[in-house]
Amino acid sequence: MNNRIIKTLIIFLILVGFTKNISADETKPSDSHQFNFFSGVFDINTSSKKSSELFGIQHLNEDLFRDTFLGKLSPITGLMITADSSSYFYTGVQAEYKIGKLNLVPSFAPGLYTMGDGKDLGSPLEFKSELQVSIDILPGTKLGFSQSHLSNADLGDKNPGADSYMFNFMKSF
């Protein structure tokens, strides 16, 4: 991606980070939607040195969470785009485990992958498993790091998979 897109994304993240977090008394439903803006490297373990930058956004509606014996489960939906014009649109579920200000968030999401000029993963149907570690920095704002793996579970002609790492900025609205 060109530098103009990267600069625009950085400016947007900074502006969102400094927005006022409105309390529940000031509005009807407060902070029920969380957006995760992320950026990182797609396909970090490639032998062909064809890694690519990636950018994405993920939505979580905190009103839809369920407390279960597996933890706090919530549905997620997101989109990831690489600098090589590959894209991955997904929807799935994540669990959240809080340890003070630290959050451990594993997730699983099936989705549709388009290759663009990037890596051929063998199938349009791919499954993303991810582990994210984040920290609460302000009410309704988190910073984190995550690592994910895309795979088609041998449903396609081939299954090379792709590992990625991302830096995450989460903001509740």
d(CA 143, CA 138): 10
Q: What values do phi and psi take at 124, rounded to 5?
A: -75, -25
Q: What is the CATH number of domain 38-172?
A: 2.40.160.20
Instruction: Please give the pLDDT value at position 29.
Output: 44
Task: Profile the chain (173 residues) by mean pLDDT over runs of 10 residues.
Answer: 62 56 45 92 80 95 82 93 96 94 96 94 96 95 97 92 96 92
Q: What are phi and psi of 7, to 5 degrees?
A: -65, -40
pLDDT, position 137: 94
Question: pLDDT, tens digit, for every residue of 35-69?
Answer: 999 999 999 986 667 789 999 999 998 888 888 88
